[in-house]
Amino acid sequence: MATDGKPDRGKVEMNAEECKGCGLCIEACPPKVLRLADHLNHYGYHPAEYLGAGCTGCGICFFVCPEPGGITVLRLVCSPRLPEDAGRQAMPKQLCKGNEAIVKAAVLAGCRAYYGYPITPASEIAEAAALLPAASRRRVLTGRE
């Protein structure tokens, strides 16, 4: 792990119960601040966990993770170079994939039902819908066409 003594620019939250222990995020993380835990999750996998410091908020772990809801990355956004940001605390900005954004936008727009079938590329939308309580209340997985 290399933090260079600089303050963390990001924060990563690992959801151990959604993790399949594939290790992709660990391989991909540039500062090497992730590892596999010693314990097992309910699937029987060693879940990835954050070492607790050194995250840059780059989001690479989030984008390589095949499990929706497995990783949340918050990128701290502020520009100390801008006079209007002087003395302000960095605001966290959550990274979001396109399919996840579609579901969130639909829920915010009033959508309360989702009909789909679990085949790529729509499967990620169905998985994201299942993670949102408002959408999952009426989520219907249909048969193939």
Binding stretches for ligand SF4 (CB under 6 A)? 10, 12, 14, 19-25, 29, 31, 33-34, 48, 55-61, 64-65, 67, 70-71, 73
Reading the block at residue 134, the tokens are 């408002």
Q: CA Rg, the chain, in Å?
A: 18
Tokens of 140: 């219907």
Cβ at position 95, least distance to ligand SF4 in Å: 8
Helix (H) or strand (E) holding 63: helix 60-64
Judged by beta carbon, residue 91 or residue 140, the one nearer ligand SF4 is 91
Positive or negative, the CA dihedral 23, 128, 115, 98 is negative
Shortest Å, Cβ 87 to ligand SF4: 26
H/E run at residue 126 = helix 123-131
Buried b (16+ CB within 10 A) or exposed e, 35-46: bbeeeebeeebb
Residue 140 CB, nearest distance to ligand SF4 (Å)? 26
Give least dist CB 78 to ligand SF4, A: 17
Note whether 27 and 3 are within 8 A (CB). no
- Closer residue to ligand SF4 in complex, CB, 58/106: 58
| Closest distance of CB 116 from ligand SF4, Å | 22
Residue 8 vs 85, nearer CB to ligand SF4? 8
19 residue type, one letter? C
User: Is 90 or 106 the residue whose CB approaches ligand SF4 more closely?
Assistant: 90
Closer residue to ligand SF4 (CB): 20 or 97:
20
